Amino acid sequence: MRKRTLLSLMALAPVVSACGFRLRGAPSFPFSTLFVRAPEGSPFTREVLRNLATAGGNLTVILPPAKADTAEVTLFLLGERRQRVILAKTASGQVREVELRLFARFKLVDREGRVWIEDTEMQQKREMSFNESLALAKDEEEAALYRNMYSDLAQQLLRRLAAAHAPAAD
């Protein structure tokens, strides 16, 4: 039985590789030093720094109080905001479904002031059912959804940094 399973998997290997499937792997950045200018204590800042630290590769992250001109590029985390939108109510006016939204803005500039990535806003949305009798559990669910959205935005930001390229010379 094991031999048959192994042979079946070996037969499928060329099909899977031919479809273009490839694991994402560690990002390769077009710069080797990155200065991060971000609001202190922000959950998004913490998540971005955690993802940069675990990204691997040859990237060196520089943080304040060091000077920004010591890095090739500076990542500006310009802000984040949360939004909670009511999607559905009962006939008696009780909230039944909400949409959680998270927005984050950033830009990437090199030491000469050339913009690599313009001021960009990313967003994540999640829908959540709501029940007043389960308010504490729903608060915890909301916090978990926001943590997940912060993580998704940070990973999306790293992919955008890896895809960035120097602006054309004037």
Q: How do residues 30-83 score in pLDDT, each as one tens digit?
A: 999 999 999 988 999 999 999 999 887 788 999 988 888 889 999 999 999 999
Mean pLDDT of the chain: 88
Q: How far apart are CA 83 and CA 3, in angstroms?
A: 55
Indicate whether 135 pLDDT > 60.
yes
Record the tokens describing residue 129, joined without a space: 């059912």
Q: How far apart are CA 7 and CA 12, in angstroms?
A: 9
In this prediction, residue 98 carries a pLDDT of: 94
| Amino acid identity, position 39 | P
DSSP type of residue 111: T
DSSP per-residue codes, 19-57: TT-----S---S-SEEEEE--TT-HHHHHHHHHHHTS-T
Q: How do residues 101-113 score in pLDDT, each as one tens digit?
A: 999 999 999 999 9
Q: Which residues pair with 102 in a beta bridge?
A: 82, 124
User: What is the average per-residue pLDDT within 5-23?
Assistant: 64
Indicate whether 24 pLDDT > 70.
no
Q: How do residues 69-115 score in pLDDT, each as one tens digit?
A: 889 999 999 999 999 999 999 898 888 999 999 999 999 999 999 99
What pairing do the DSSP bridges indicate for beta strands 73-89 and 95-110? antiparallel
Q: Can you point out the beta strands (E) in 12-147?
A: 33-37, 60-62, 73-89, 95-110, 115-129
End-to-end CA distance of the chain: 66
Q: How far apart are CA 60 and CA 41, in angstroms?
A: 21
Give the chain's domains with CATH numbers: 27-163 (3.30.160.150)
Total residue count of the chain as it appears in this document: 170
